[in-house]
Amino acid sequence: DAPAPPELPIPTAPAKGQCEVVVYSAAHSGTVAGLSPERRDLLVRVWADRYRDLLAMPEVAFIMPFENRGEEIGVTLHHPHGQIYAFPFVPPAVVPLVEAFRAGPVLADLRERVGDAYDVAGNDRAVAFVPPCARFPSEVWIMPRAFHPGPWTFDDADVAAFAAVLGEVVARLDGLYGKPMPYLCILYAAPRGEEAHFHFHIQIYPFLRTADRLKYLAGCEQGAGMFLVDGLPEQMAARLREVAL
């Protein structure tokens, strides 16, 4: 059991939840793009497995698998890996997303409105695009074309299709400036009780604005929550599509 909360002048609660590490490969270097198709499929299946097991815990409300990549953003362990955090509540940053999905299929509607001009990669079951609301240079979202609350509802074809698009996106990001792209990769799946509305997807936040300049979250981003973009999303999508693989 968690220890009793200390006496503090602010509200406190027991620190319940889970933290796990997912090792992508036995190799000490590499990327998601460099994994074999079978290994990338396995990664998606592992995510699905961990979602199922962690959501079976009554104290867990929201699960967030993620990958931090690159020394530029503070990564010190270079073995290809990701992490999974299971929260006993829906984090404040996720609440607006939950509310938006309750109102309607906002992600599918957005992709339909922007069309192919914003696409980066895709197949018959999954698509990756630069959202018109991108906050980071070359930000990419990856979604299954059909509705899924999380990867635990994927069949084998869905797994292979989604994993293939994920690998291609990372390869294109790495090829954009001819070197590994530092990024945050966040999986967003339905919190407990939101499975009927929440459309599973991945958001990737790259941190290079040019080959030698990082995207810093400065006064406007931190103070006002307003992101200054470094290029038009549709132009960045075109640049990513043009990367030779």
Joined tokens for residue 29: 């270097």
Contact between residue 199 and residue 148 where contact means Cβ atoms under 8 Å apart: yes
Phi, psi of 101 (to 5 degrees): -70, -30
User: Known catalytic residue: 81?
Assistant: yes
Of the residues 78, 81, 197, 199, only one is catalytic, namely 81
CA torsion sign for 85, 86, 92, 97 is positive
Fill in the amino acid letter for 230. D
Phi, psi of 144 (to 5 degrees): -70, 140
Contact between residue 57 and residue 40 where contact means Cβ atoms under 8 Å apart: no
Q: Which residues contact 12 (CB under 8 A, 6 or more apart)?
A: 5, 6
Cα–Cα distance list, 220 to 57, 83, 100 (Å) = 39, 29, 24
Joined tokens for residue 78: 């270079």
CA distance 146 to 107: 11
The position carrying tokens 């090829």 is 175
CA distance 30 to 174: 12
The position carrying tokens 């994927």 is 154
Any idea which residues carry the catalytic annotation? 81
